[in-house]
Amino acid sequence: MVPPIWIEHTTSPLPRKDLFVHSKLIIEKSDGLFGNIDIDGSKNAALPILVSSILCCGTLSLKNVPDLLDVHNIVNLLQELNIKVNKNEKSFQLDATNISSFTSSYELASKLRASVLVLGPLLARFGKAKVPLPGGCSLGMRPVDLHIKSLSQMGAKIFMEHGYIVGEVPSERLIGTDITFEIVSVGATQNALMAATLAKGHTKIINAAKEPEIVDLCHCLRKAGAKIVGDGTSVIEIEGVEKLHSAEHTIIPDRIEAASYAIATLATNGSIILNNITPNVFGTFKDYLEKAGAKLTFFDEKNSVEIRSTKNINSIDVKTAPYPDFPTDIQAPWMVLMCLAVGKSIIEETIFENRFTHVPELTKMGANIKVLSNHEALVHGISKFTSAQVKATDLRAGFALIIAALVADGISEISHTYHIDRGYVDVVGKLTKLGVNITKKGAI
């Protein structure tokens, strides 16, 4: 086989991940978050939508794209395929007219899970692809078998070679078919969905993911000429078209970022206003916030919400599950909040088998948490956190440690901040605006 293609790029939206490895966040105890901040575009929506540019014969113009490390990496990956990318603040223009490579580099793919999403679009439009097994946060086994199985059902021939997923389409085009996922998978739904837009005939995805990020991807694809119905439900149907054309789209707000700052507000007994969001951004998570003690007031005319703490934090058992239930990406920040509640609570993680890596770090800060299994933890309320030197073990765990540091006596240090930079835009600037004494050391 042809060895992978490696291309150096001198222009990038953000510095490389390795430049952040030795940076640290220094955080003093906060007397409460107060003020207002803007919620940026959704990372989990932006990544697949950026990848969907592969499908378009023309320019995909995107607005409200978050300035994140994961976005930097996916854009670099697309550039390696010879997609022309122009960036102006939060706007991107991507032109895939002259794609000349169908191989993703191992280096970039190892940095983010979303790298596997190029597989379906490349096979659908060009009939060939070579994609490394993806990386990202170390959350346990996240197999790509659902991605491979669905694309194979559509006629692709796929095999593994030297750590790469290699695929080709023997016929002229992928063939539409009925695809039933054994478990709900956001990534596999996105891959199959994008591939089906250019497949010949009708595709039905059964037990599809319902996340708002899936719906946003479908909105974007429809603007480019795709024929899709059923997004937001468990059955999505796609009638394949011969090609997609140029389109413009604005990325939805990041519901995980909004929820993270809402939890931090409760933890610090503060009051903040989040801009650029509507009630549906929170979805059913709004109910959990209110049960825990938050007061939410939405201002529809301003697309903003005020979040106020009611002083007492209530302990609540939660179980992560696919949308619209409790999001796995909020489990770690929520665990910090439950540490501050009176009594005890059970947190059950059903999506990933290794998403309690933040527990030892929180224990260094005084948390009383017993991990009962890979999927269940018992949280006892404590009177306070204490400052410590801790490490962000993954993206959401990093923000959980920030929340703990905000309420800990003394000054805390959080290392491995590149995880946080993957999913939270300008966390230092936003927290500073909310009255927090926070600095980053060792960053470029």
| CA nearest neighbour of 134 among 166, 100, 163 | 163
Alpha helical stretches, state H, 101-185: 106-109, 119-126, 145-153
| Cβ-contact 332, 396 below 8 angstroms | yes
- Ranges of beta strands (E only) in 8-82 are 24-28, 34-38, 59-63
C-beta contacts of 242-245 below 8 A and 24+ residues apart: 242/198, 243/57, 243/198, 244/55, 244/56, 244/57, 244/58, 244/197, 244/198, 245/56, 245/57, 245/58
Residue 137 among the catalytic residues: yes
DSSP letter string over 234-252?
Answer: SEEEEE--S-B--EEEEPP
d(CA 262, CA 260): 5
Q: Which helix (H) or strand (E) holds 66?
A: none
166 Cβ partners below 8 Å, 6+ apart?
Answer: 1, 129, 130, 158, 159, 160
For residue 158, how many other CB atoms are within 10 A of its CB? 19
Question: Please, what is the Cα angle at 14 between 248 and 17, to 5 degrees?
Answer: 125
Strands 271-275, 34-38: pairing is parallel
433 Cβ partners below 8 Å, 6+ apart?
Answer: 35, 36, 37
DSSP letter string over 363-416?
Answer: HHTT-EEEEEETTEEEEE--S-EE--EEE--SHHHHHHHHHHHHHEESEEEEE-
d(CA 322, CA 358): 21
| Cβ-contact 344, 380 below 8 angstroms | yes
d(CA 215, CA 198): 18
Question: Please, what is the Cα angle at 392 between 391 and 398, to 5 degrees?
Answer: 140
Q: Which of 56, 137, 220, 339 is catalytic?
A: 137
**Exposure of 309 by Cβ count < 10 A (0-12 exposed, 13-18 middle, 19+ buried)?**
buried
User: Hey, which residues are catalytic here?
Assistant: 137
